[in-house]
Amino acid sequence: MASLMEMVADIVSAHASANQMSSDDLLAELQKVHSTLKALESGTPAEGISAEAKPALTIKQAFKKDEVICMICGKGGFKTLTRHLNMAHGLKPGQYRKQFNIPSSQSLSAKNYSESRRQAALDRGLGDNLAKARKVRAEKIAAAKAPAKTAKAVKAAKPAKPVKVTTAVRKSAVKAK
């Protein structure tokens, strides 16, 4: 594993290569990164770093009728949070729910958006199509199980296999004639 100084050098050099920095900025950045990594190594939170992630707002404030607001960064105006969580924070909806104790019954989308999508699906008859598809699938499963049962009954009703006629039996039958 790399030493603390090597990690500080790597982090600051990566930051300096992407951003223009004066020598004073570079020294300040080195000190800041070093103190932060040292605090993390010892297990105590550094200045400006909280030990626990606290939500920027409450669940009630985050989920409104016309918009959803991210509880991590406080950015709002979303109809649904899934894409924002993945792109901005690298989280999946389940991780986000767990982090902020959001119940699974709470949709991660605006209430009006969910309602409009539901209504559009009803208008297009998607609920009826789903019911028909489920019925057809159930019939196919039942049909697939039915021949399997009749095949067992046919096997039980089959007559015994015919006896093989050997050459010795044939010779004795020929002599008997």
Beta carbons of 73 and 89 less than 8 angstroms apart: yes
Q: Which residues contact 121 (CB under 8 A, 6 or more apart)?
A: 127
What is the sign, positive or negative, of the torsion defined by CA atoms of 89, 93, 94, 97?
positive
Angle at 164 between CA 158 and CA 168, to 5 degrees: 160
- The per-residue pLDDT for 171 is 62
Q: How far apart are CA 92 and CA 147, in angstroms?
A: 45
Both tokens of residue 128? 């009826």
- The per-residue pLDDT for 51 is 47
- The per-residue pLDDT for 97 is 92
- The per-residue pLDDT for 13 is 86
- The per-residue pLDDT for 93 is 93
Query: Could you give phi then psi for residue 97, rounded to 5 degrees?
Result: -60, -45
Rounded to two decimals, the pTM is: 0.46
One digit per residue, the tens of pLDDT, for the chain of length 177 reads: 578 888 888 888 888 888 888 888 888 888 888 888 888 877 776 555 554 556 668 888 899 999 999 998 888 899 999 999 999 889 999 999 999 999 999 999 999 999 999 999 989 988 888 889 999 999 999 988 876 555 555 555 556 666 565 666 556 655 665
